[in-house]
Amino acid sequence: MMPIKVVIVGAGIVGSSIARVLSMYEDFDVTLVEKEPDVGWGSSKANTAIIHPGHEEEPDVHPLRARLCREGNILWRQWTRELSIPVKWPGELMVFFNEEEEKNAKKYIELAKLNKIPGVRVVYRNELLQMDPSINPSALGAIYAPTAGTISSFEAVIAIVENAVENGVKLLTEAEVRGVKVVDKKVKGVETTKGFIEADIVINAAGLYSDKISHMAGIDSGFVVRPRRGEYFLFDENVRVKPEKLLHTTPTPITKGVYAITTIHGNLMIGPTAEDLPMDAKDETSTSEKGLEYVWKESERLLKELPPRTKIIRTFAGLRPEPPGGHWRIEAYDDPWGFVNAAGIRSPGFTAAPAIAYYVLNLIKDKYGVSLVKKKHWNPYRSDIVRVKDKSLQEIDELIRKNPDYGEIICYCKTVSKAEVIEAIERMKKAGVKTITIDGIKFRTRAGLGMCQGSFCRWRIALLISQYTGVPLYQVVVKKDLYGVGEVKALLKS
């Protein structure tokens, strides 16, 4: 049997999850095409990283979102175990402060029943403050959803891609899709900046740019994906305020509210805003004074206290790929035959991604009559980088005896050793990442994510990249088009 050639456009959480699921079958020969130098640098990198329970989706309005959010929440429990992805499941509290908010919040109890989300209930002030003492004591109560979790979003994409490649998927980075070739109403392949790639099936998972890819295939020229910006503050690990649950204010028609959470890496994070930007602002990830002030004010309302602003280690923004009416466009087409959209996947897209992947698999099976023969030796597992920070002193001692590079610390904020940086470089090469970037090392090792934001470690990492790839030091990049060590916090302050 000749495998069906599949090109997936976009290595965000949706494209990489689809690649992993297709890699389970003999039927497909999959190429995952990404325009950036690395995977997961679109919406999947900068978001709140909540695995939503599914009680905020209206099944009458968004039935697919409601169903795939619930299924995704369940699947992530298995995927995070198989792929060693950092995750925790503290549950979430939607906090209300007055009767109007209480009335709005209680609507989600009904939605939880409709969506069959377990354990969702109202808690009032006494119980609420016992559940999480960091909440502002003026709160009246909250809707508690115990199945909410939080994940390391960039590490999730990296882990899924590593596993997909291990199971036969080819990753092609720095290849921007510029055209979809259709002959006699059938998909034939994609034109990329790295050349033509033949394909029987093209799956569009290009996030903010999924409208463009859809138009390239001649699908619905009226379909547009609008950037909706969300801004955040991230605080140092070393602050007193550390919410135990995932806290947020009551939702509005366009957002799930402002969150205050302790991230999977132990930092207090507050945000986001929800601001519709012009259509041509799909790379506009700067923050704004107005947006950040809004986040600060909402968080002051939500929390008993906020840390001093000197404890902020960074502000950042992410862009939601917002489709018309908030409707995800997941469809396999007859015309052109072989074109599949997984387009406009706005929130809760991260949560739903594994379920979206199975949904797309079934669409392909039904529409194009694929038999789906499981691979005998498909490997569901992927192990994480060996991290000094997670080890006991005795274990570190053993590691150093075998490899002295574990004893050389490159990032003191996050305790990352030289051996970890080298392992990350080797993993990137193995996955098919062509340009080893400083950001790529940061997202794999966490070096540069701490208080000093890379002031100490960036040039050390640049040296190691140069040494282990043969790229001259002056050509090492932080991220696309940013050479050298870039701006670092110490330099910005001076």
Q: Which is nearer to ligand FAD, 91 or 272 (CB)?
A: 272
Query: Among residues 52, 55, 62, 377, which one is catalytic?
Result: 52
Q: How far is the CB of 403 from ligand FAD (least distance, A)?
A: 33
For ligand FAD, which is the closer residue by CB, 78 or 467? Answer: 78
Does residue 208 touch ligand FAD according to CB under 6 A? Answer: yes
Q: Residues 6, 7, 30, 33: which binds ligand FAD (CB under 6 A)?
A: 33
d(CA 61, CA 319): 23
Supply the DSSP string of 84-126, one letter for each residue: T--EE---EEEEE-SHHHHHHHHHHHHHHHHHT-TT-EEEEHH
Asked if 445 contacts 416 with a C-beta cutoff of 8 angstroms, the reply is yes
Least distance to ligand FAD, CB of residue 285, Å:
9
- Residue 10, interface with ligand FAD (CB under 6 A)? yes
Q: Which is nearer to ligand FAD, 143 or 485 (CB)?
A: 143
Quick check: 338 binds ligand FAD (CB under 6 A)? no
Total Cβ atoms within 10 A of residue 404: 12
Rounded CA-CA distance 439/461 in Å is 10
Closer to ligand FAD by Cβ: residue 216 or 411: 216
Decide: is 477 part of the binding site for ligand FAD (CB under 6 A).
Answer: no
Does 345 help bind ligand FAD (rule: CB under 6 A)?
A: yes
Question: β-pairing, 246-249 with 92-96?
Answer: parallel
- Closer residue to ligand FAD (CB): 29 or 231: 231
Residue 183 tokens, joined: 């002959």
The minimum distance between CB 230 and ligand FAD, in angstroms, equals: 3
Task: Give the separation between CA 475 and CA 434, rounded to whole angstroms.
Answer: 13
Contact window for ligand FAD (CB under 6 A) among 19-27, 40-48, 101-109, 136-144:
40-48
Give the range of 8-16, 105-113, 162-170, 357-365 binding ligand FAD by CB under 6 A.
8-16
Contact between 49 and ligand FAD (CB under 6 A)?
yes
Residue 322 within binding range of ligand FAD, rule CB under 6 A: no
Residue 248 appears among annotated catalytic residues: no
| Tokens coding 301 | 């309302």
Q: Which of residues 234-273 bind ligand FAD (CB under 6 A)?
A: 272
Distance CA 167, CA 379 (A): 7
- Give the rounded distance of the alpha carbon of 212 from its chain centre: 21
Comparing CB distances to ligand FAD, the nearer of 133 and 266 is 266
Of the candidate spans 233-241, 332-340, 347-355, 442-450, the one that interacts with ligand FAD by CB under 6 A turns out to be 347-355
Task: Quote the CA–CA distance of 61 and 58 in Å, as a whole number.
Answer: 5
Q: Nearer Cβ to ligand FAD, position 49 or 202?
A: 49
Pick one of 250, 351, 415, 455: the residue that binds ligand FAD (CB under 6 A). 351
**Residue 47 in contact with residue 350, Cβ under 8 Å?**
yes
Distances (CA, A) of 8 to 84, 176, 343, 360, 374: 24, 12, 12, 12, 20
Q: Which of 205, 261, 438, 488 binds ligand FAD (CB under 6 A)?
A: 205
- The CB-of-317 to ligand FAD minimum distance in angstroms stands at 7
Pairing of strands 275-276, 312-322: unpaired
Q: Which of 4, 5, 7, 15 binds ligand FAD (CB under 6 A)?
A: 15
CA gap 4, 15 in Å, rounded: 17
Task: Please give the Cα distance from 8 to 20 (Å, whole number).
Answer: 11
The 8-class DSSP code of residue 135 comes to B
SS3 state of residue 168: coil
CA neighbours closer than 13 Å in the CB half-sphere of residue 155:
25
Residues that bind ligand FAD (CB under 6 A): 9-15, 33-36, 41-44, 47-50, 52, 176-177, 205-209, 213, 230, 272, 318-321, 345-351
Question: Hey, which residues are catalytic here?
Answer: 52
